[in-house]
């Protein structure tokens, strides 16, 4: 029997704080843009047709799906017929990794030690089926060693899977160099770009990944939909069977409203993403400087410059992340600790372990990400609240900083 988890008391009905919260968890999900919500509205009421139906309502639904597909393709400079809709980025990552591996039948797969668990867990499943998996280490900033990767590729592989950036530590990988290496060795390259697509302008004219995962809920679009860009005639084995939708690679009736919202969010991100990213980067830099000036015992994680715009990650020694997040939440500040997909597991972060962060520091790991809706005043308030919370928690700790 499935055990239903109770909501925390803080989420149950009751008095709410008399202020607007400062939302700094954009690396987990983002608020739905009102323009996206408006575009989705008709498909949640009268315009409800199935895109596979042959009648007028169905044909109109198909037109909407294909228009959205074209919008998503423009975001990453792809051909529309190379965009495959899925229900989540996790599903898209599974389809990319398992789809290539199962179609090949056997072989070796390369990935970074810092990959998201929606890549690492499928790799473990494939290992149990006899596939060989090699996890390539990263440096203390979370950046892959290209020479080490070249050596690994020279041994042959059926797939290389590397995320463009880590949502946990913010580090950007050298995407163009990765694409060139994969092409040089003739190895298909899958890139999980969920944290960067819609945030960073896609490079034009150069080499591109063979498969790429993106999702609109990280650039102010709807949850419950994502996409996998499958470049060219790449052979995949479908994971969900039972229909001819999405070229036979993803059976099931397409979520019309979510896909329509995805298309609008992609167009907005293409036009407005660079300015939004620049504002987020400036605000994250402001928060970093304020924390450095007022709080000791900090360990900033990830690359100091090559990182997701608006992203800041750090460890606060002598304070537990869970207690810090509760204190921030009580002050109306919403942040995160680690990956949203692993927070409830209670295990040490594999990403922090991969970059050499000690277990004591890792217990105080926090992630902030600025985005749409934040203001220039937010950094000062967050720094003040976080500093006060950290000092209070350290005072309660018998050994102070470093315990």
Residue 4: band (very low, low, confident or very high) from pLDDT cuts 50, 70, 90: very low
Tokens of 326: 């509760």
Residues 229 and 283 in one domain: no
Burial 87-118 (b: 16+ CB within 10 A, else e): bbbbbbbbbbbbbbbbebeeebbbbbbbbbbb
Task: Tell whether the model's pLDDT for residue 176 goes beyond 50.
Answer: yes
Per the CB < 8 A criterion, the answer to whether 201 and 274 are in contact is yes
Tokens of 361: 């520091």
Give 226's strand partners. Answer: 86
Residues 173 and 318 in one domain: no
Residues 181 and 330 in one domain: no
CATH of the domain at 192: 3.40.640.10
Whole-number pLDDT of residue 399: 56
* Domain termination residue (choose one: 268, 300, 320): 268
Residues 145 and 201 in one domain: yes
Task: Tell whether the model's pLDDT for residue 151 goes beyond 60.
Answer: yes
Question: Is residue 90, in this structure, part of any structural domain at all?
Answer: yes
Sign of the four-CA dihedral 375, 352, 5, 118: positive
Range of the domain at 299: 16-32+273-396
Residue 346: band (very low, low, confident or very high) from pLDDT cuts 50, 70, 90: low
Residues 118 and 94 in one domain: yes
Segment 107-139, tens digit of pLDDT: 999 999 999 999 999 999 999 999 999 999 999
Question: Is residue 239, in this structure, part of any structural domain at all?
Answer: yes
Domain count, the chain: 2
| 3-class DSSP assignment, residue 266 | helix
Question: Is residue 352, in this structure, part of any structural domain at all?
Answer: yes
Q: What are the CA-CA distances from residue 307 to residues 1, 149, 156, 304, 329 (Å)?
A: 43, 20, 30, 7, 25
* Domain termination residue (choose one: 241, 268, 295): 268
Is 151 noted as a catalytic residue in this protein? no
Per the CB < 8 A criterion, the answer to whether 310 and 284 are in contact is yes
Sign of the four-CA dihedral 85, 87, 90, 95: negative
Place of tokens 């892959």: 144
Alpha carbons 307 and 139: distance in angstroms, whole number: 14
**Within a 10 A sphere around the Cβ of 381, how many other Cβ atoms?**
16
β-strand 333-334 against 22-23: which pairing, if any?
A: parallel
Segment 274-284, tens digit of pLDDT: 999 999 999 99
Cα atoms in the Cβ-side hemisphere of radius 13 Å centred on 270: 16
Catalytic annotation, pick one of 151, 179, 341, 385: 341
* Residue 136 dihedral angles phi and psi, to the nearest 5°: -90, 130
Question: Is residue 359, in this structure, part of any structural domain at all?
Answer: yes
Place of tokens 């239903």: 4
Strand residues in 46-193 grouped as ranges (E):
83-86, 108-112, 132-136, 159-161, 189-192
347 Cβ contact list (under 8 Å, min separation 6): none
Tokens of 109: 């797969």
Residues 183 and 293 in one domain: no
Question: Is residue 324, in this structure, part of any structural domain at all?
Answer: yes
**Mean model confidence pLDDT for the chain:** 91
CATH of the domain at 296: 3.90.1150.10
Segment 299-344, tens digit of pLDDT: 999 999 999 999 999 999 999 999 999 999 999 999 999 754 555 5
Whole-number pLDDT of residue 401: 60
Whole-number pLDDT of residue 400: 56
Tokens of 337: 């600790």
Q: What are the CA-CA distances from residue 351 to residues 59, 212, 384, 403 (Å)?
A: 46, 21, 28, 22
* Whole-structure pTM value: 0.90
Question: Is residue 390, in this structure, part of any structural domain at all?
Answer: yes
* Residue 152 dihedral angles phi and psi, to the nearest 5°: -65, -40
Task: Tell whether the model's pLDDT for residue 49 goes beyond 80.
Answer: yes
Segment 190-249, tens digit of pLDDT: 999 999 999 887 777 789 999 999 999 999 999 999 999 999 888 899 999 999 899 899
Whole-number pLDDT of residue 19: 58
Helix (H) or strand (E) holding 178: helix 175-185
Average pLDDT over residues 357-367: 95
pLDDT more than 70, % of the chain: 92
Tokens of 69: 């597909």
Whole-number pLDDT of residue 206: 83
């Amino acid at each position: 029997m499935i055990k239903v988890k109770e909501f925390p008391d803080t989420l149950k009905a009751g008095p709410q704080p008399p202020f607007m919260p400062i939302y700094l968890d954009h690396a987990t999900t983002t608020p739905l843009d009102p323009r996206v919500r408006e575009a989705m509205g008709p498909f949640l009421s009268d315009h409800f047709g199935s895109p596979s139906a042959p009648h007028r309502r169905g044909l109109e639904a198909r037109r909407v799906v294909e228009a959205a597909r074209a919008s998503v393709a423009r975001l990453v400079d792809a051909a529309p017929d190379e965009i495959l809709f899925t229900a989540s980025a996790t599903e898209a990552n599974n389809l990319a990794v398992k789809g290539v591996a199962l179609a090949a039948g056997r072989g070796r797969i390369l990935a970074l030690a810092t990959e998201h668990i929606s890549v690492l867990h499928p790799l473990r499943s494939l290992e149990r089926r006899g596939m060989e998996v090699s996890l390539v280490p990263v440096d203390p900033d979370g950046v892959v060693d290209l020479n080490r990767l070249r050596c690994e590729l020279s041994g042959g592989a059926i797939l290389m899977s590397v995320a463009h950036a880590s949502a946990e530590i913010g580090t950007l990988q050298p995407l163009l160099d990765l694409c060139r290496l994969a092409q040089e060795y003739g190895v298909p390259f899958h890139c999980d770009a969920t944290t960067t697509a819609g945030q960073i302008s896609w490079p034009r004219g150069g080499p591109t990944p063979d498969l790429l995962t993106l999702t609109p809920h990280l650039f102010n679009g709807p949850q419950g939909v994502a996409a996998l860009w499958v470049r060219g005639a790449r052979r995949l084995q479908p994971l969900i069977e039972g229909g001819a939708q999405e070229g036979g690679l993803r059976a099931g009736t397409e979520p019309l409203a979510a896909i329509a919202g995805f298309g609008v969010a992609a167009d907005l991100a293409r036009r407005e993403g660079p300015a939004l990213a620049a504002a987020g980067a400036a605000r994250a830099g402001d928060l970093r400087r304020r924390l450095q000036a007022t709080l000791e015992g900090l360990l900033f994680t990830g690359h100091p410059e090559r990182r997701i715009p608006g992203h800041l990650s750090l460890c606060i020694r002598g304070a537990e992340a869970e207690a810090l997040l509760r204190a921030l939440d009580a002050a109306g500040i919403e942040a995160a600790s680690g990956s949203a997909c692993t927070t409830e597991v209670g295990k040490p972060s594999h990403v922090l372990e991969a970059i050499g962060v000690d277990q004591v520091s890792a217990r105080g790991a926090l992630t902030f990400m600025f985005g749409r809706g934040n203001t220039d005043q937010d950094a000062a308030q967050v720094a003040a609240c976080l500093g006060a919370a950290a000092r209070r928690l350290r005072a309660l700790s018998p050994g102070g900083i470093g315990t």
